[in-house]
Structure 1
Amino acid sequence: MSQTPITVTYPLEEVLKELKQDIKDINTKLDKLNTIEVEIAKLSEKVIGMDKRLEKVEGEQATMVKAISDLQGFRSLIVPIVVAVSTALLTLVFRLVPNLP
């Protein structure tokens, strides 16, 4: 079973031009791909930086929440302290004032 060979009648110059154009197109696409990879790498670095800053902010937020919580606890002690100091001062004043007839 023998097959007859296919005969192509394109000029070699035209075939080479098409191949050359295809190679240029592939190179252009590779250049674009490289550019995209570089941009992705830059974005990745930015995301990592933002992640680190976010972790820092979250840590500072936790510290601030604790400080506010501590202040709220202290605020609840202010009234008893004021009452105690006022009572002590009034007691001193009444003891220093001579007994009135």
Structure 2
Amino acid sequence: MATIETELKDILVKFEQRFDRLDQRLDRIEADLTEIKVDMATVKTELTTVKEDTKDLKGRASAQIWALIVTIMGATTAAIVRFGFMTNP
């Protein structure tokens, strides 16, 4: 049987180095996660703004369509009255 002689101190140093690397990786992951959360909050804010703008545009488009309909009806009525009902003597 082979005997392995290693000092406990060396083993503990290796474990400590590995834990340090893991801790650094976790710190980077945490920083990335924080950045992602900030980006998501920004996206949510921009999405809310886009929704409000779209709602406003829909309202304006509807008002313009009704104004166009009223204008066309008024012009048609004026043309009928002017050229249809009034005959030249």
TM-score w.r.t. the length of structure 2 is: 0.74
Structure 1 residue 59 and structure 2 residue 49: aligned?
Answer: yes
Bigger radius of gyration: 1
Q: Note the residue ranges of structure 2 that are not aligned, 5 or more in a row.
A: none
Q: Cα offset for 1:40?
A: 1.4
Match of 1:47 among 37, 54, 79: 37
Structure 1 residue 23 and structure 2 residue 5: aligned?
Answer: no
Deviations 1:32-82 (A, max 9, x none): 111111121022112212321221121122111111022223333333322
Structure 2 CA distance for aligned equivalents of residues 28 and 50 of structure 1: 33
Number of the residue aligned with 1:89: 79
Structure 2 CA distance for aligned equivalents of residues 20 and 97 of structure 1: 115
Number of the residue aligned with 1:9: none
Count of aligned residue pairs for this structure pair:
86
Give aligned-pair identity as a percent. Answer: 8
Aligned letter for 1:21? I
SS at match of 1:28: helix
